[in-house]
Structure 1
Amino acid sequence: MGNLSIETAMLYVVIWTSVRYLGIALCNMPITNAGMSAIPVEIAGYASALNNWARQSIASLSIALFSALLAYRSAKYMSGGASIQASEATAAGDVFLYSMLPLIVALPLVLLLRKEKRVNR
């Protein structure tokens, strides 16, 4: 999605956006399960509320940051002489590329997650 331009077919965008959101949907439950399984049962309610709050807050912050980045990059391309449609398409591709940075940072951290064997007492 980082190569979006004015010539990009709508079917391309629909398919890759669907794949992206399917991946997000399939990741949310295992991530939540891994985090909540490390929490003692006594404070699971607090941890669940904090998890939901953090997830929604970060999602809202991400939308705001990426919307601002989209507007900035679009204005930058328009000041360079591109049309409105071309500058918005190219700026959207830039936003997808920038959104890949947290993923690149998070991937090595996944390797630190390992399942500890629990001892039944």
Structure 2
Amino acid sequence: MTFDPVDYLDDEEAVTAYLDTAIQRDDVEVFLDALDDVARAYGMGKIANEVDVHRVSLYKSLSKQGNPSFATVKKVLSALGFIVPTSSNLRCSQASVKPLNLMAGSCGLFSPIFMFPFSICTA
């Protein structure tokens, strides 16, 4: 039997820790692989519908041979409940924003991949 991380991405905490670990690896391919795993865990068809792309296109985009645009990555993160904070979307109260960078325990740390702090807004 082959190990598939999707089998273990069954709650918000596991997903957040998994993406956080991938971001800390400072390797875009590792992060995109993790994002693909999370999208598969949530349901690629459901995510594709939410980001308004065909399911097959999203599979290809997030695959090892894919090269998704930043817009696609941002839309997928948004469909999963994550936000890339900007000055215009920081209206979530600090109490309702959980940092994606849980390992470091700080909301203000920057992702080495995109240079944005990733967070999930629970408001």
Shorter-chain TM range is under 0.3
Structure with greater proportional strand content:
2
Larger relative contact order (Cα-Cα within 8 Å, sequence gap ≥ 6):
1
TM-score by length of structure 2 reads: 0.23
TM-score by length of structure 1 reads: 0.24
